[in-house]
Amino acid sequence: MTPSSREPGAVIVVGSLHYDIMVDAPDRPRKGETVAGYRWRPKFGGKGGNQAVAAARGGAVTRMVGAVGADDFGTFLLNGLDAAGVDRSHVGVLENTPSGMSVAISDDEGDYGAVIVSGSNLKIPEAALDAEGLWRDARVLLLQNETGEEINIAAARRAHAAGVLVCLNAAPARPLGPELVDLIDALIVNGVEAEMLSGIVVDTIEDALQAAVDLRRRHRNVVVTAGGAGVAAALEDRSISVPAVPVEVVSTHGAGDTFVGVFGAALAGGSSFDDAINQANKAAAAHVGGAKANDAQRATRAGSA
C-alpha cells in the first residue's frame, strides 16, 4: 500500500499518553550518582499524544485512541489534546488505573534519557476501535510501542480493512510478531532502534541507509531517522537519503514524535513518501531548535485549559 492522490484525509493515532516531568540538568546521572538539576516542569507527552499533536499541527484532522486515568494527570493530558485541536472523543478515562507518566532528564548537550510508567496505556479498550466515525475519511494510522502489541494488531487489522496506511514507530524497540509485521506499511525507527532491530550501528547517514535496507527485507517501507546525520529510507521501489537541516540543538526530546506526526499528516494530505519525509525532517529540525521554549509554552497552555 502506498500514499494515494485521493482527497486529504484524517490521521488516526492509537497510542500512549504520558504526563511528563521534564528535568534540566548538566548531565544525566550514572548508576549510583546524584546530579543537581537546574529546573523541572510538567509537559504533555507520550509518543501517541505527541504524534497526534504534531499531526494536528501539520494540518491533518487527527483522532486519538488511548486511555488515561481518572486523576489530575489524566485531566492535564485531555486538556493538552483539546488545546492542540486533536479529537479525543475516543480516549477512555479509566477508574482505579493511574495515568501513564514519565520522568525525562535533558542534559546540557540537548540529549535526554527517560523512564516511563505505562499505567492506563496498557489498558486501552479494543472496543474504542469500533466507535462510530473513528475511521471516517481516515488515510493514515500511527502506532507506537508504548502500548501492547495486541492493541496495535487490532488497530492495524481495522485500518487495512478500511484501506488505511499503517505506520509503526517501533519505539521503544522490541521484537515484533509476524502478524503485526505483515500489517505494517511503513516502519519508522531512530538510529538506536534501528541498531536494536537490525544489529547495524547507526552513526552516519550511510549507516542509516544500510540499516533501512536490511530492515526492508522484513518490512514494506522503512524510514530511519539518524538525528544530526539526516534521514534514510528503503522504500518498495527505491532507497533515498536526506541530509539533516542545520540547526542549533536546544533539545532532542520529542523530535522523533514530531517527525512521525508530520510524516503521517503529509501522507494523509496526499504527499508522496519522499515529500512526507522532507516535510517531517524540516519539522523535526525546527522542534530541536526550539523545543524547550515550546514545551514550557505548551505545558502552561495545557495546564490552564
Are the C-beta atoms of 108 and 133 separated by less than 8 Å? Answer: no
If one counts the domains in the chain, the total is 1
pLDDT digits (tens, 9 = 90+) for 240-249: 999 988 777 7
Are the C-beta atoms of 191 and 255 separated by less than 8 Å? Answer: no
Q: For residue 73, give the C-alpha cell.
A: 494527570
Instruction: Name residues whose C-beta falls within 8 Å of residue 161's C-beta, 6 or more positions apart in sequence.
Output: none
Domain assignment present for residue 17? The answer is yes
Domain assignment present for residue 2? The answer is no
Are the C-beta atoms of 241 and 232 separated by less than 8 Å? Answer: yes
Domain assignment present for residue 1? The answer is no
Q: What is the pLDDT of residue 292?
A: 43
Structural domain of 263: 10-304
Q: What is the pLDDT of residue 181?
A: 97
The three-class DSSP label of residue 125 is: coil
Q: What is the pLDDT of residue 301?
A: 38
Compute the Cα dihedral for 28, 108, 211, 14 and give only its sign: positive
Catalytic residues: 257
Q: For residue 167, give the C-alpha cell.
A: 505506520
Domain assignment present for residue 3? The answer is no
Q: Which amino acid is at 159?
A: A
| Alpha-carbon span 180 to 282, nearest angstrom | 30
Domain assignment present for residue 29? The answer is yes
Whether cis (ω within 30° of 0) applies to the bond prior to 26 is no
Residues 263, 74, 97, 61, Cα dihedral to 10°: -30
Q: Which amino acid is at 282?
A: K
Q: What is the pLDDT of residue 289?
A: 83
> For position 298, which CATH number holds?
3.40.1190.20
Q: Which residues of the chain have pLDDT under 50?
A: 292-305
Domain assignment present for residue 162? The answer is yes
| Alpha-carbon span 85 to 305, nearest angstrom | 12
Domain assignment present for residue 218? The answer is yes
Domain assignment present for residue 188? The answer is yes
Q: What is the pLDDT of residue 62?
A: 98
Q: For residue 185, give the C-alpha cell.
A: 506499511
Q: What is the pLDDT of residue 6?
A: 60
| Alpha-carbon span 124 to 11, nearest angstrom | 18
Q: What's this model's pTM, rounded to 2 decimal places?
A: 0.89
